[in-house]
Structure 1
C-alpha cells in the first residue's frame, strides 16, 4: 500500500515537472519580434559611385553592397547632401564646393558595423 502511494506521488511529481517545462518553453519572449535580433552583417563587399568626377550642381548614384540580413545603412558626405536611404543613395554636389568630397557609408547588422568611404572629385 505504501509502495503504491510513493509510486502515485512520483507520477505526480514527474507530471508537474513536465507541465512546468512545457509552460516555460512556450513562454513568448518579448524580443521575439525584435528586428535587431534577426539582423547580422557578414561582409561589406563594396561601395561604388556611378561617376567619380562631377561638375558643381551635378549628382551621382552611390551603391553599397553588404552581405547579411536586415542591414542598416548610414551615410555622410564631407560637403553637400545625400538624398535617400538604404543601400543606394544619390549624392548632389553643392554649388559652392569643389575638390575631393568624401562619402562615407556605415553598414550595420546585429553587433557588427563596417565603414567604407570613397572620394568624388568635384571640378571647379
Structure 2
C-alpha cells in the first residue's frame, strides 16, 4: 500500500510538471538588452520582462516606454509607460498580463523602447 501511495504521488508530480513550460526570448540593440520570459502553466500564459541599458547614463533617462508584440501570431502584446530604471540601469517586471497558452519557441517577438525623444525597435528570439 505504501508503494502504491508513493507511486501515486510521483505520478501526480510528473503530471503537474508536464503542464508547465517556460520560454525565454532575448534580443539587443545598440542601447538595450531585453529578455521576455513566457511562463506557461495549464490554461494560462504570463509574461515577465527585463530591460537592461547598455551604456546610456542612467541619470539622463527620465522614463522609458516599451511595447512588446509577437510578429507571427499576434497573441503577445503588452507594454508599459513611464517606467524607470534602477541604479544599475535595469528594469524588471515579473507580473504582466496573462493569456491562453499559445506562444511557442518558433515565435518571434519585437520590442519598441522609447526614451528621451529616442526610439529603438529590435527582435527577440527564443533561446
Greater Rg over alpha carbons, structure:
1
TM-score normalised over the length of structure 2: 0.41
1 or 2, which has the higher helix percentage?
1
